[in-house]
Amino acid sequence: MSEETIRQVYTASPTAARFHNSRAFFRGLMGPIGSGKSVTCALEVFRRAKEQAPNASGVRKTRFAIVRQTYPELKSTTIKTWCEWMPPDICSIVYSAPITGRLTAILPEDGTRIESEIFFLALENARDVKKLLSLELTGAWLNEAREIPKAIIDAVTSRVGRYPPRKEVPITWSGVIADTNPPDDDHWWYYYAEESQWRTAWGAITRDELREIMEVTNDQETEKLILDAIAGMDEGRSENDWEFFRQPPALLLRDGKYLPNPAAENAKHQPLGYLYWLRQLAGKSREWIKVYCLGEYGSVYDGRPVYDSVWSDSRHVSAKPLEPLPGIPLVAGFDFGLTPAFILGQLAPSGQLRIYRELVCERGGIRQFVTDAVLPMLMNEFRGFAVLAGADPAGTQGSQVNLETCIQECNRLGIPTKAAYSNRFETRRQAVMSYLSRLAGDEPAFQLDPSCKLLRKGFNGAYRFERVAVAGDERFKDQPTKNFVSHPHDGLQYLAMLVDRHGEIGAAKQSSTQTRPKIEQRAW
């Protein structure tokens, strides 16, 4: 198969075209399933091999690593896609350890020859970094990057730009490309693509600083590199940055219905067209559909979400930070134990439950947690507000050392706290569901501040009932799995049970001067 044949088969989608044209050092491509991401990256590897300047013998030499998390995935998906576009007469593959390919082709335009070594690597965790240590690469492709730890990313970026040797020919291009389905919102991809305003040290350097470096260097090659960098700045290039590209969703959610998105990419190349994505809807959770069909960040967990029938991320999470309502006491929920949690909110006059903050201690006692985290937060962000807290009834049990209870300790530290009227899980769950399932006027009766990432993650599926391994119909345990989000959700339930007793909140409002926490005047 010739290079011309490949060009006739592959037509870049609008997002893929921008991806190909970028000169960023690290380029990420995210989108729903079936959007052609892997094909785009496979053809980008070929394109960069083709564009490498030839050496004196007319050979365009490059070396790439193609990475997936596990060996079975590497063989069944990544290499399969690669071979569909790079058959054996272009790229022969030897299934040894590691799996290697040899990409060769003669370019009809000038008769030069592409010779590219391809290493197919399974890199699962930080221990696999050693597989990269001896590699000197031109570039790398990270397939399904959401499954690859950041430590692997860091190692891969340090191995590119090292081939071909400078003494033979200048490197025309080097860098890292990556594709993925949407990851979770605490993933390294989300941080660099959506939140971070960072720039690399080189990217942050100014033209004047580069010129100062050039004045003191005696190396002509370094001077040339600096001049190229200055020229790139003048042209608006971003060769040293990371750049992320996001494909349109395959489907749209409108008025509770999933509809084909006219802007979806790769639909015309799917044998079933839009039916490919519409058939995915049956038997899938909303979170699964959100990630794989709508192309939105999210988590897909095994099991049944605790609030699956009533939770809506788009409705229940505020689009902007929530501000406390003046003159109304705050309500809180404590979960005790070795991973204590504190949830802070407020019940609006409309009946809307507004959740402002979450605090969780990885491992510590209640006294340290309240003193070092809860009280400084109240002092710095909610000064002047009365607070009343509901808590895990287990907090009435005294310590074996001095018989003092967790609830007594919270009261002693200035946060009026009382035990919830029940610790039965279904009662606690129903207290939260009663707000999730109704309106307060024209608005949802539950609003979550976007800073509450653990609560949000739990609502989106991490707080779940574990599946029971039995034959026949699906069955789940009647208690949620204890994990990193269960503690803040327990605290939220105690808070919701507290506000269910409106008389207690009214009493707190009338005695706000007595219930205001005694917060020391000290810095966080």
pLDDT of 435 strictly over 60: yes
Rg of the chain (C-alpha set): 28
pLDDT of 355 strictly over 50: yes
Report the chain's terminal Cα–Cα distance, integer Å.
Answer: 66
Q: Label residue 9 by pLDDT band (50, 70, 90).
A: confident
Residues whose CB is less than 8 angstroms from the CB of residue 329 and which lie 6 or more positions away in sequence, other chains included? 346, 385, 386, 387, 388, 505, 508, 509, 512, 515
Q: Which residues of 484-518 are buried (b: 16+ CB within 10 A; e: fewer)?
A: ebbbbbbbbbbbbbbbbeeeebeebeeebeebbbe
* Residue of 362 and 216 predicted with greater confidence: 362
Distance CA 421, CA 493 (A): 11
Bond preceding residue 262 cis, omega within 30 of 0: no
pLDDT at position 228: 67
> What is the pLDDT of the chain when averaged over all its residues?
85
Strand partners for 243: 27
* Residue of 78 and 3 predicted with greater confidence: 78
pLDDT at position 273: 94
pLDDT at position 469: 55
CB atoms within 10 A of CB 197: 4
Q: Label residue 501 by pLDDT band (50, 70, 90).
A: confident
205-214, pLDDT tens digit by residue? 566 766 777 7
Instruction: Enter the pTM of the model.
Output: 0.68
pLDDT of 3 strictly over 90: no
Q: Which residues of 132-165 are buried (b: 16+ CB within 10 A; e: fewer)?
A: beebebbbbbbbbbbbbbeebbebbeebbbebbe
Q: Among the listed ranges 133-142, 228-237, 288-297, which one has the minimum average pLDDT value?
A: 228-237
Domains of the chain: 3-199+241-246 (3.40.50.300), 251-300 (no CATH), 314-515 (3.30.420.280)
260-280, pLDDT tens digit by residue? 999 999 999 999 999 999 999
226-240, pLDDT tens digit by residue? 776 666 555 444 555
- Span 174-199, mean pLDDT? 83
